[in-house]
Amino acid sequence: MLVLLPPSEGKAPAGGPGAPLKLESLSLPELRAAREAVLGELVELCRGDEEKARDVLGLSVGLRAEVAKNGRLYDAPARPAGEIYTGVLYDALDLGTLDAAAAQRAARELLIFSGLWGAVRVGDRIPSYRCSMGVKLPGLGALASHWRAAMADVLPDAAGDGLVLDLRSAAYAAAWKPKGEVAARTATVRVLHAPTRKVVSHFNKATKGRIVRSLVTAGAEPGGPAELVDALRDLGYRVEVAAPAKGGTAWRVDVLVDEVH
């Protein structure tokens, strides 16, 4: 199973002394050249005109410290990505409290998409940064397009031959869309308010975090979308499923919740 996750806009500070980023140590080493291109332009941008950098990154004046932080990425201390990413989904996933077996499964099965790194495993050591997938850098252009080209040959191999559970938001899903036989064993998840069948917002992220935690804690290894539905129901989730009408198309799995906060 490969689980595709979005990052969080907010990042925990790397904090304190620590070894800086080593690009050669990151998972999916085939993405190194694409990572170097984004990192180099981002650092140069943020070491220059602050106002221009804020405009490119979509940051307010109150977030000017994020620009300065990006300018120090080569030397900033790095920590495991699972500790850097914060927010509702990652609070619910709560990687730090997993037992040893579940933590190993998370390290193997979770892939976090990123505007800066393309995609990383939870154990990959990265510095805290600010660069969403929706950014258009002056030189490279739209990051989603940049990563789409870089990932076209890399992600199908990373997907292996099992289930691909896609929990990404639309901006990050634009960086790689499973195709062909990979798409046929991909499941995308929506979280719906049970009485109204409307998509929920905040609770969407929390529910997705809990789903991932439930799967890795239980040691579930669904081989495809149908097996995923069975596994989620066994774990106590209310699930509705729409099998694709044609081949080479992802399944849509709806998880129903009563709370909508």
Residue 258: the pLDDT is: 86
Q: What is the mean pLDDT of residues 233-242?
A: 94
Could you give the number of structural domains in the chain?
1
Q: What is the DSSP string of the chain?
A: -EEEE---SSB----SS--B--GGGSSSGGGHHHHHHHHHHHHHHHHS-HHHHHHHHT--GGGHHHHHHHHTTTTSB-EEHHHHB-SHHHHHH-GGG--HHHHHHHHHHEEEEETTTEEE-TTSEE------TT-EETTTEEHHHHHHHHHTTTHHHHHTTS-EEE---HHHHTT----HHHHHTEEEEEEEETTT-PBPSHHHHHHHHHHHHHHHHHT---SSHHHHHHHHHHTT-EEEEE--SSTT--EEEEEEES---
Q: Is the pLDDT of residue 232 over 80?
A: yes
pLDDT value of position 14:
67
- Residue 98 pLDDT exceeds 60: yes
pLDDT digits (tens, 9 = 90+) for 5-62: 999 987 887 666 779 999 999 999 999 999 999 999 999 999 999 999 999 999 999 9
In the prediction, which pLDDT does 48 show?
A: 96
Expressed as residue numbers, the domain containing 182 is: 2-257
